[in-house]
Amino acid sequence: ITWFRDNVRRLRPEHRRPDPADRLVWAAGDAAQCDLWFPPKRIPLENGATALLPVLVMVAAH
């Protein structure tokens, strides 16, 4: 079993699939960042209450 594990350990880096997130060149629109922003303004709701609601912000990489 030691021989097998040693050979698997030796061969594994050669057969590792590339991670698509590791690339250095991105075409416009290939990636986007999504964040939640909580603006400091309370929004009136239908029932008369107010709440701090999140805003989804998406930015495309260029």
Q: How confident is the model at residue 62 (pLDDT cuts 50, 70, 90)?
A: low
CB 52 within 8 A of CB 36: no
Q: Which tens digit of pLDDT belongs to each residue from 8-54?
A: 888 888 877 877 777 777 777 778 889 999 999 998 999 999 999 99
CB 58 within 8 A of CB 33: yes
pLDDT of residue 14: 81
Q: What's this model's pTM, rounded to 2 decimal places? A: 0.43
